[in-house]
Amino acid sequence: MQTVRTSDSRFENLKDFPFAANFIEVDAGDGTQLRMHYLDEGEGEVILALHGQPSWSYLYRKMIPILVDAGYRVVAPDLVGFGKSDKPTDRGDYTYANHVHWMKGFVEALDLSEITLVCQDWGSLIGLRVVAENEHRFARVLLANGGLPDGAGIPEAMSPKLNELLRNTPALPAEEMFAKLAGPMEDRPQFMYWVRHADEHPDFYPAEVMKGSLNHCDEEEYRAWSAPFPSEEFMAGARQFPSLVPIIPDNPAITANKAAWQVFEKFDKPFLTAFGDSDPVTKGGEKRWIDTVPGAKDQAHTILKGAGHFVQDDAAAELSAIAIDFVRSNPS
């Protein structure tokens, strides 16, 4: 597997990011190894904090000090292809199954147990699969603005039409793409515009996506979101992720995600949702979890007012307080 590694110099003196870098190697699945970077702060029960696309562990910079001060150990890895972790250059190496394999390898390499998973976006698509396939390592789940798509409610017969719609969806500039995401449903799912922008638009910049998604992003924070991606060669994972989301029934990840849902339909460990009310992509996605997961019953599910897709940044203090109360109210 051919990879690139972002120079450490791009991560120097980042705003609000004093954390020590840690590295570990995981099996790439082809006989080689991948180096993953992670933050490991504090002591106590483990909170595994998984970011999504196109962010990295910098997303948890505001939450980590709060959680550590409350007596927890926070482990926040960079997904393969992001942050300081290795970045395969072939987009074909970024499959949903590979990401689950890599994260499972990470959890096993650190021998984490009694984990409280805090996850969002692709951190949830990957993390929830790891939970379903390794229940014994997890004590609780806190899900924010994410989920586990399995094509529920979409007839298999719709696949050809949906695939054609996706192929014919234009790759719009970022500003127009964001307008489509926030706008009303027209002739296709709004999410297809995000898939096509990341997949093919020549001016795809992860930092611009973050800036357009956050309530606040100053110049120094913009530099941090840009840091992992000095050139197109480093963006294969960031470009590929949206195309992997199983929104169409013939997606190869559907079967494994359906199997994971069967686990969660019987999952009686504490399960909490905390979604932002200003995220057009995942709005309402908490309902299925609340209605389906036994462990979600009688939990203090929350809608965070004014928070968009990246609630860890938009509502860091609120989400940290929710996580702390969740763990304390549900002792293992």
Active site residues: 121, 279, 309
Tokens of 8: 């450490």
From the list 242, 160, 231, the residue with the least C-alpha distance to 200 is 242
Distance CA(170)–CA(129), nearest Å, equals 31
DSSP state for residue 114 in the 8-state scheme: S
By the 8 A CB rule, do 279 and 308 touch?
A: yes
Which helix (H) or strand (E) covers residue 209, if one does? helix 206-213
B/e letters for 310-329, b = 16+ CB within 10 Å, e = fewer, are: bbbbbbbebbbbbbbebbee
- Which residue in this structure is represented by tokens 């990840």? 253
Burial of 290 (0-12, 13-18, 19+ CB in 10 A): middle
Dihedral of alpha carbons 301, 305, 310, 311, sign: negative
Which helix (H) or strand (E) covers residue 302, if one does? strand 302-304
